[in-house]
Structure 1
Amino acid sequence: MSRVLITRPDGQTEGLARRLREAGHQPLVSPALLISPLPLGDPDRRRVLDLDLYHAVFFVSANAAAHGVAAIADLWPQWPVGVHWLAVGEATAAVLRDAGLTPELPQRGFNSEAVLALPCLADVNERNILICRGESGRDWLAARLRERGARVDVLPCYRRRANPGFAWPDGTGTVMVTSVEGWLAMAASVPADARVIAAGERIAARVREAHPGPVVVAASAHDIDMVAALPPP
């Protein structure tokens, strides 16, 4: 039975661990990043108060959904109507559904490029779009939407920092990496011969810059795709 290290933040590992066990692997968990909510500053509070003026609100991750929804719910006891609630993938969509929202998400891809192809973003000229994300993050989608004429705001709703308690378990030969930030936080602890399962080519490219061992590119960060990238146990 192969030992596979899951490095997602706390609260986001159970589904992946279950699929790994079902596939005959032994999952271990050591989060690479710690997540903490950010309080809303005055400009961000105003954006949330004006939420009904937005054509779409995009949550870039399950963390963004959890902390973004909490911040919005403090100011909106009932969700505004007419807003497209966009999720990057199924895990993010599940958080939105639990909050009583109806998310729209890509059928495949599960990244910003796939979100940009959603029908509701085809014509966004002079429309307002809000992106809920971490304190820092990729600006690719915001740039593409602005090219289409949209007015894009960013709502930073959580902070990521390297987990000082991250540890590499003895006897583990494979690690799953689902973000560039997570990789940078753990890279120094990953053995040179370890197999890295990277959630997409963008992350894999960063891993290859520092890691001489095998790097396998999963189709997406979705649990099914991450497990499918593993060789048989």
Structure 2
Amino acid sequence: MQVLVTRPLGQQQALMDALHDAGYQPLHSPALHIEPLPVSDASRRVLMDLDLFHAVFFASSNAARLALAAMADIWPQWPVGVNWLAVGKATAAEITRWHLQPTVPDGGFNSEAVLSLACLQQLTEKKVLLCRGESGRELLAQTLAERGAEVVTLPFYRRLPNPAFHCPAQCDWIMVTSVESWQAISGKIPAGAGIVAAGERVAAHIRAQHTGPMRVAVSAHDEDMLAALTSV
């Protein structure tokens, strides 16, 4: 059974290895290309005041990798008293590689789960930095501001549709981990192909355009995507 992984280049191997070990034939064609953005002078000025932030949130492993590289150029030693927040395990692993201790939601791995973290409940007169892509959901920023935080958002990359994306006609299942990934490939998927969607929010967008079989994973984590595929 052929399973197409659509993660960006460099982020696919662990899932492909897991699929292979489970007896599937994994294929890879990225739905999106990740393009780093230059760090502007305005962004550098924000990062120079990193010690003034109550919390720093990284929306993805790409955001953590690029943002922390920019921060490390300014801070030879990390500021103390900052809550380093990750949306999921891959992002937390990237933060850990920079010798920082991340805080991750117990479950959910989305904006709603992050908003349940204890350190984000009382935010009056506190600053929160959001490190993310050029586009994304605004729920987190809006809710933090409603809780009294001064929210600063910095983009570190943009996601671009991969013009070379290809889904073989004989592919049985396609793994889709974000709404933006689906939007980039929706017109290139065979009508009868099955989709493994990373969560109900992604699944809702796919159902509006695709009538083939679907299985919904608990999250975009490799183990959850594989579990959804193998469920009966």
1:230 is paired with a residue of what secondary structure?
Answer: helix
Residue ranges of structure 2 left out of the alignment (5+ in a row): none
Matches within 5 A, 1:54-73: 54-73=53-72
Work out the CA distance in 1 between the residues paired with 2:230 and 2:192. 16
Superposed displacement of residue 215, structure 1: 2.2
Q: CA RMSD in A?
A: 1.3
Residue ranges of structure 1 left out of the alignment (5+ in a row): none
2:45 is paired with a residue of what secondary structure?
Answer: helix
Deviations 1:14-58 (A, max 9, x none): 111122122221211100111111112232121111111000000
Residue in 2 aligned with 1:110? 109
1:172 is paired with a residue of what secondary structure?
Answer: coil
Contact 2:169–2:190 at 8 Å: present in 1 too?
A: no
Residue in 1 aligned with 2:190? 191
Residue in 2 aligned with 1:174? 173
TM-score scaled by structure 1?
Answer: 0.96
1:91 partner letter: A
Matches within 5 A, 1:130-169: 130-169=129-168
Matched, 1:23 2:2: no
Work out the CA distance in 2 between the residues paired with 1:227 and 1:145. 33
Work out the CA distance in 1 between the residues paired with 2:46 and 2:35. 21
Work out the CA distance in 2 between the residues paired with 1:35 and 1:74. 22
Work out the CA distance in 2 between the residues paired with 1:205 and 1:122. 29
Superposed displacement of residue 127, structure 1: 0.7
Superposed displacement of residue 232, structure 1: 6.1
Q: Which of 22-31 and 218-227 deviates more?
A: 22-31
Work out the CA distance in 1 between the residues paired with 2:230 and 2:102. 33
Aligned length: 232
Work out the CA distance in 2 between the residues paired with 1:218 and 1:182. 15
Deviations 1:136-171 (A, max 9, x none): 111111111111111111010001101111111242
2:118 partner letter: P
Structure 1 segments (4+ residues) deviating >4 Å: none
Work out the CA distance in 1 between the residues paired with 2:197 and 2:156. 25
TM-score scaled by structure 2?
Answer: 0.96
Deviations 1:119-140 (A, max 9, x none): 1112112210001000111111
2:174 partner letter: V
Residue in 2 aligned with 1:213? 212
Work out the CA distance in 2 between the residues paired with 1:81 and 1:219. 34
Superposed displacement of residue 186, structure 1: 0.7
Superposed displacement of residue 210, structure 1: 1.1
Q: Which of 215-224 and 19-28 deviates more?
A: 19-28
Residue in 2 aligned with 1:74? 73
Matched, 1:223 2:219: no
Work out the CA distance in 2 between the residues paired with 1:63 and 1:215. 27
2:223 is paired with a residue of what secondary structure?
Answer: helix
Q: Which of 219-228 and 22-31 deviates more?
A: 22-31
2:98 partner letter: A
1:229 is paired with a residue of what secondary structure?
Answer: helix
